[in-house]
A = this chain, B = another copy of it.
Amino acid sequence: MTGKVFGVTAEIPKTGVAFLLTQLGTQAATKFAERVGALGLTPPQVGMLRMIATRPGLSQQTLAGNLGMLPSKVVTFVDDLEGRGLVTRTRSTRDRRVHELTLTEEGTELLDKIRAVAAEHEAGFCQALDTDERARLQALLERLTESHGLAPGVHPGYRTIR
Measuring CB to CB, which residues of chain A are less than 8 angstroms from any residue of chain B?
A: 3, 5-6, 8, 10-13, 15-30, 32, 50, 54-55, 66, 118, 121-122, 125-129, 133-134, 136-138, 140-148, 150-157
Contacts and interface: CB of A to CB of B under 8 A. Distances in A.
Q: Which 4 A-B pairs have the closest CB atoms?
A: A25-B25, A128-B147, A16-B122, A20-B141
B27 A156 contact: yes
Assembly stoichiometry (copies): 2
B153 A12 contact: yes
Contacts of A155: 19, 22-23, 26
A156 B122 contact: no
B28 A32 contact: no
Given A128-B144, A133-B140, A156 B21 contact: no
Contacts of A129: 140, 143-144
Given A22-B32, A25-B22, A50 B141 contact: no
Contacts of A24: 21, 25, 141, 144-145, 148, 150
A106 to B, nearest CB: 21
